[in-house]
Every structure is written in structure tokens, then in C-alpha cells.
Structure 1
Amino acid sequence: MASITFKGNPVTLIGEEVSAGDLAPNFHVLANDLSEVTLEDSKGSVRILSVVPSIDTGVCDAQTRRFNEESASLNGVEVLTISMDLPFAQRRWCGANGIEHVQTLSDHRDASFGEAYGVLIKELRLLARAVFVIDANDKIVYVEYVKEATDHPDYEAAIEVAKNA
């Protein structure tokens, strides 16, 4: 299992850790309109799954903005930002910040994504910061479990892999 900290304190991750080369597990999350979204809904596209603890915090805000900006030049790549935030809060935040190129998804209802990708923080019921790139055939081609949840991921590495997937 990935070993991470949150504000310097070790936390327990629930679920199965995934690795590059694995078939991407399916999940059930909610879109901003409360419709259910699964991995299968974007089948045939390259996807960047940008996972954040809470969209309303500094690093999560910056991560979502960065992938929003980068996605404009990523032809054929979908960016999905997943957090435990309620869909209403995600929609409000996106509207207030002009986020138009990434889709925000809420794992609040079932923690289906968190458990499937091994990023559910037991002590906080938040998702650990991570980035996954999934190719058009649903194969995981890039994985980063950020060791300290308040640090930034390696944006350039994920974007480069997505461009070449």
C-alpha cells in the first residue's frame, strides 16, 4: 500500500493500490448535476484522473486550475477531478473560478473511487492527492500517490504521459 502523510502525520489508505499496467478499476461517482458517472462513460478516451482532498483548499485549487489550463492543449484527453466534496460545492467553485475544461466529480456518496484506487483516507474520509493516467483501452499508464497530501503532484510527468498515450 502507498504510504502517505497529511500535514506531516501518517494516515491509513483504504482500498487497493493500483499500478501502471493494471486495468483501471471502474467506479461510480456523481457529476455536478447529481447524475452518476463511471469510468466506462469515458471509454475510448485518454483520461487524467486528478484526485484532490478538497477543491476549496490552496493546493487542490492550484492543481485543478493547472489541469484546466493544460487540458486546452491536450487533444483527445479528458481531465476528471475527483474529490469527496459535495457536487453542489464543486459546481459553485468551478463557476466562481471559470473552470470549463475539467469535469469535477464527487465520491462523497459511496467512496467507490477512493476504495477502487486506494486513495480513501480512513481517518479523514477524504481522498489522498493522486494522479492517474488511463489510456483509451482502460489501461493505467501513470500513477502518482503524492507522499504528502498537501504537496503538489508532478504535473509535467502526468501531462507528458497523457500526450503520448
Structure 2
Amino acid sequence: MASITLGGNPAHTIGELPALNSQAPAFELTKSDMSVKTLSDYQGSKVVLNIFPSVDTGTCAKSVRQFNEEAAELDGVKVLCISKDLPFAQNRFCGAEGIENVEMLSDYKTGAFGKDYGLAFTDTAFETLLSRCIVVLDENGKVRYTEQVSETADEPNYKAALEALMDA
């Protein structure tokens, strides 16, 4: 269990992020068109998992915008923005913001992603939502970088995540 903060107050997650150099846990997440995407769909690409509680919060929205901008210049990289928001809300946000370079995926159906990756909140008003994390995977689905943001309201370290892509 990770100990982080939410608005300066203690918060906890269900477990720990996957270990570096481990195989990333498989997942099934929902796209905005309600189709299912799995980790194996991204085999052969480097992947950034930008994980957050809800696109309807300022910091989460900013991370999607930032990665959308960065992803436009990355070849062979897929940026997946993952939350438990309904796919309709994710789609509405992307349409309003002109987001085209990242994929929005939702863990709303089962919550299995948040559990399997050890990052779902277990307490606070955000209980069961996904904590703010970055996970970078290489072309074979191996974990090459992780960050669990210690204060949920803070942004992730974009530079470190993008540098990890170069080393993956």
C-alpha cells in the first residue's frame, strides 16, 4: 500500500505500482466508442500510461493537455490517459480541448486496472478512483519507469517520464 496525500491529508492505495523491469499487468479498458483495448493492442510500441482520478479536475486535465502536446512529436509512442471517468465524459473533454494525440481509456467497468496496478485509492473521498501515476512501458510491455505523485493535486514529472521513453 502506498501512502500519498490528497489535499494535504493522508491517503492510501490498494498496493504498489508494478516493479521496474517487470512485465506490466494485462488490462482491458474501454475507449470512448465503447470498444475494448488491451495491453496486447500496444505490443511493439513504447507506451506512457498517464493515470489520474478524473479529467474533470484541473491537474488531470492539464496532464492530458501536456501529454497530448508532447505525444505529437513522439514516433512509435502511444500515450494512454486512463481514469474511471465514463468514456462519454472523456470524449466530451477531448472534443472540447482538441485532444487528438493521446488515447483516452476508462477503468469504469470493473476497476481491475486500478487494483492490478496497485494504484486505486482505498480511502478518502476519492476511494476507488485511480491515483495520479505515470508508468512507462517498452515495446515488449516491460515497466521502465514509474511515478506515483505524492500529493494528488501535483502534476507528474513529465520530463522524467519522457526521458524514460528514450531509455526504454
For the aligned pair, the TM-score class normalised by the smaller chain equals over 0.9
Which residue does the alignment assign to 1:144? 147
Please state whether the residue corresponding to 2:22 is helix, strand or coil. Answer: coil
RMSD: 1.1
Please state how far the C-alpha of 1:15 moved relative to its aligned partner.
Answer: 4.1
Which residue does the alignment assign to 1:62? 62
Which residue does the alignment assign to 1:107? 107
TM-score between the two structures when normalised by the length of structure 1: 0.96
Please state how far the C-alpha of 1:44 moved relative to its aligned partner.
Answer: 1.0
Please state whether the residue corresponding to 2:60 is helix, strand or coil. Answer: helix
Closer, same or farther: CA 28–38 of 1 in aligned 2, 3 Å: same
Q: 1:81 is matched by which residue type in structure 2?
A: C
Structure 1 segments, 4+ long, off by >3 Å, are: none
Q: Deviation digits for residues 58-78 of structure 1, max 9, x if unmatched?
A: 101110000000001111000
Q: Partners in 2 of 1:66 and 1:118 — Cα distance?
A: 24
Q: Deviation digits for residues 54-101 of structure 1, max 9, x if unmatched?
A: 011110111000000000111100000000100000000000000000
Please state how far the C-alpha of 1:159 moved relative to its aligned partner.
Answer: 0.6
Which has the higher mean CA deviation after the structures are superposed, 123-132 or 80-89?
123-132
Q: 1:22 is matched by which residue type in structure 2?
A: S
Q: 2:79 is matched by which residue type in structure 1?
A: V
Q: Is the 8 A contact 1:52 1:129 kept in 2?
A: yes
Q: 1:127 is matched by which residue type in structure 2?
A: L
Which residue does the alignment assign to 2:71? 71
Which residue does the alignment assign to 2:131? 128
Please state whether the residue corresponding to 1:73 is helix, strand or coil. Answer: coil
Please state whether the residue corresponding to 2:103 is helix, strand or coil. Answer: strand
Q: Is the 8 A contact 1:29 1:112 kept in 2?
A: no
Q: Partners in 2 of 1:154 and 1:69 — Cα distance?
A: 15
Q: Partners in 1 of 2:167 and 2:101 — Cα distance?
A: 19
What is the number of equivalent residue pairs in this alignment?
165
Q: Partners in 2 of 1:71 and 1:139 — Cα distance?
A: 20
Q: Partners in 2 of 1:107 and 1:127 — Cα distance?
A: 9
Which residue does the alignment assign to 1:46? 46
TM-score between the two structures when normalised by the length of structure 2: 0.94
Which residue does the alignment assign to 1:156? 159
Closer, same or farther: CA 38–16 of 1 in aligned 2, 3 Å: farther
